[in-house]
Amino acid sequence: MAAEITRAVFAVLTRRARTLSTKTVVAAWLFEVTQLAARKSRPSRVWPWRWFTRAKRSGEPLTSGSAIWDQVAPKFDRAMSRLPRKQKAAVLLRYVLKFDPIEAAGILRTSAPRAQERADRGLKALVRRFRKAGCADTEMLARELAENACSTLPDELTAHVADAMAEASSRRPRQTLARQVLTSLARKRWRRRFVVGTACALVLGVLAGFVILRSELQTGFSRSISLFLELRVRWDAFTVRGLTAPAKPWPTDADTPTLQAAQARNGAAVYGTTNIWLAHLQFSRDAWKELEPRRIAPLPNFVQPNGELLLRNPKAQRGGLAGVIGFEFDWCHAEMDFGGMRFTNVAARVKGNGSHLLSLYGEKRALKVDLNKYAKGQKLAGLDELVFNNLVADSSYLSDALGYEFFRDAGVPTPRTAFAYLTLSVQDKYQGKPLGLYVMVEPVDRRFAADRFGSRKVPIFKPVTYELFESLGDDWSAYAEVYDVKTEATPEQQRRVIDFSRLVSYAGDAEFAERVGDFLDLEAFARFLAGQVILSNYDSLLFDGQNYYLYLDPASQKFGFIPWDLDQCWGGFALWLTEERERANIWHPWVGKNRFLARVMEVEEFRKRYRASLEDYLARLFVPERLFRRMDELAKVIRPAVAAESDFRLQRFEQAVSDHWPELPPRGGSEWADRPVHQLKRFIVKRAHYVRLQLDNKTRGLTLKRPARE
**Least trusted range by pLDDT, from 13-17, 42-46, 559-563:** 42-46
Return the DSSP state at 542: T
* Among the ranges given (40-44, 157-161, 456-460), the one the predictor scored with the smallest mean pLDDT: 157-161
**In angstroms, rounded to a whole number, what is the distance separating the alpha carbons of residues 172 and 282?**
71
Beginning with the edge strand found earlier in the chain, give each strand of the sheet holding 559-563 in spatial order.
460-461, 548-552, 559-563
Tens of pLDDT, residues 489-516? 999 999 999 999 999 999 999 999 999 9
Domain ranges of the chain: 2-46+58-196, 227-695
The region of weakest confidence among 242-256, 358-372, 551-565, 655-669 is 655-669
Of the pLDDT bands very low, low, confident and very high (cuts 50, 70, 90), residue 59 is: very low
Among 163-167, 237-241, 290-294, 398-402, the range of highest mean pLDDT: 398-402
Report strand pairing: 367-370 vs 327-328: unpaired
Which range among 131-145, 317-331, 568-582, 635-649 has the greatest average pLDDT?
635-649
* 419-444 mean pLDDT: 94
| Higher local confidence (pLDDT), 37 or 443 | 443
- What number of other Cβ atoms are within 10 A of residue 633's Cβ? 11
The yes-or-no verdict on residue 476 having pLDDT over 90 is yes
| Furthest CA-CA distance within the chain | 121
For the ranges 101-115, 149-163, 231-245, 521-535, the one whose mean pLDDT is highest: 521-535
pLDDT at 54 over 50: no
pLDDT tens, 301-355? 666 666 666 667 777 777 777 777 777 889 999 999 999 999 999 999 988 776 6
* 635: number of Cβ within 10 Å: 19
The pLDDT assigned to 478 comes to 94
Q: How confident is the model at residue 557 (pLDDT cuts 50, 70, 90)?
A: very high
Q: So what's the pLDDT on residue 24?
A: 77
Give the residue among 196, 161, 194 at the shortest CA–CA distance from 178.
161
Residue pair 41/177 in contact (Cβ under 8 Å)? The answer is yes
Q: Which long-range contacts (CB under 8 A, 24 or more apart) does 696-704 make?
A: 699/583, 700/585, 701/583, 701/584, 701/585, 701/586, 701/587, 701/588, 702/580, 702/583, 702/584, 702/585, 703/584, 703/585, 703/588, 704/538, 704/543, 704/576, 704/580, 704/581, 704/584, 704/585, 704/591
Q: Tell me the mean pLDDT in the region 151-164.
A: 54
Q: Which residue has the higher pLDDT, 545 or 517?
A: 517
* Strand-strand pairing, 385-389 and 332-338: unpaired
What is the C-alpha separation between 311 and 309, in angstroms, rounded? Answer: 6
pTM: 0.71
18 pLDDT exceeds 80? Answer: no
CA dihedral 545, 550, 556, 558 (to 10 degrees): 10
Please report, rounded to a whole number, the percentage of residues in the chain having pLDDT higher than 70: 77
Dihedral sign for Cα 246, 250, 252, 256, please: positive
The pLDDT tens digits for 72-108 are: 666 677 777 778 888 888 887 777 777 888 888 888 8
- Cα-based distances in Å from 594 to 89, 160, 468, 541, 544: 73, 92, 8, 9, 10
Mean pLDDT within 590-605: 95
Q: Which residue has the higher pLDDT, 38 or 276?
A: 276
Confidence (pLDDT) at 144: 60
Tell me the DSSP string of 279-341. Answer: EEEEE-HHHHHHHSPEE-PPPTT-B-TTS-B----TTSSS-SHHHHTTEE---EEEEEEETTE
For residues 211 and 116, give the distance between their C-alpha atoms in angstroms, rounded to a whole number: 45
What is the residue-averaged pLDDT of the chain? Answer: 82
CA-closest candidate to residue 369, choices 289, 475, 441: 441
Tens digits of residue pLDDT in 578-595: 889 999 999 999 998 899
Sign of CA dihedral 156, 158, 161, 165: negative
pLDDT beyond 50 at 704? yes
If we measure between CA atoms, which residue out of 468, 401, 479 comes closest to residue 440? Answer: 401
Cα 568 to Cα 323: distance, rounded to the nearest angstrom: 20
What is the average pLDDT across 115-131? Answer: 80
When pLDDT is cut at 50, 70 and 90, the band that residue 277 belongs to is: very high
Predicted pLDDT of residue 136: 47
Q: Residue 319: name the closest of 549, 569, 558 by CA.
A: 549
C-alpha 672/C-alpha 75 separation (Å) is 62
Torsional sign, CA 306, 307, 310, 311 = negative
Contact criterion met (CB below 8 Å) for 136 and 61:
yes
The pLDDT score that the predictor gives to residue 211 is 65
CA separation for the pair 161, 5 (Å, rounded) = 10
